[in-house]
Amino acid sequence: MKLENKIAVITGGNSGIGLATAKLFHKEGAKVIITGRRKEVVESAAKEIGENAIGMTSDTANLVDIDELYAAIKDRYGRIDILFLNAGIAKFEPMEIVTEERFDELSNTNFKGLFFNVQRAAPLMDEGGSIIITTSAAGQIGSPNMSVYGATKAAARSLARTLSGDLLPKGIRVNGISPGPIDTPIMEKVGIPSEALSAAKAGFAAENPMKRIGSADEIAKAALFLASDDSSYIAGVDLAVDGGLTQL
């Protein structure tokens, strides 16, 4: 029970990495709050997680939603111990066809929303608090068709460092967790045609030093490490959970 009686907020907690992490945190004793943009999906996921889990509808790119989220958490719980900023979107397109609308969509969710979530949540956190930001191997590798997405994830990685400098005096640690290709529903939303999805997964696996893609549960275990006292002397890192993709 590494997170017994902790209050954990997980944005984008209704599917994939977020849901797997919410289940693990709950198993380890945390009271879990998950967020997502679709009310029925969020509430269904909260029931799936179990007792003491609640779902709140919130768009991480919308500052009004962000304010309402943390006001509700303050009223209900009075504090946050763990903040896992996992909500994000991935859209892969050739540089030549990226529109301003697409640029803003990715930037607002993957970068701006991260910053303002931390800004609003930090006053509810005390010494010993942990903030985890989902970055990506795409923020370190110059992959085709990922110019804007990769840049937003590089910005997220930078926030894990700079916000550590801001918050360590309060005893709050900020770290990143950097997944490689992970078998989650997001792989169906990035623009890969459904008929080409199996081939794409096989290609990701072939390029990986471990010759496979990862699972959401593997990311959840790394998030548990960063959320718990097991990582009490770690701050500002970007923990690569990518089968060695960015390391070898």
8 A C-beta contact, residue 75 and residue 175: no
Listed residue (239, 247, 243, 217) closest to 22, CA to CA? 217
Q: How many CB atoms lie within 10 A of CB 233?
A: 7
48 vs 35: CA distance, rounded Å: 14
Paired tokens of 123: 């006053």
Q: Return the DSSP state at 174.
A: E
What distances in angstroms separate CA 119 from CA 9, 136, 179, 247, one per listed residue?
A: 14, 22, 24, 32
200 vs 158: CA distance, rounded Å: 29
Q: Which of 70, 77, 149, 233 is catalytic?
A: 149
149 given a catalytic annotation: yes
Q: What are phi and psi of 205, to 5 degrees?
A: -65, -40
Residues assigned a catalytic role: 149
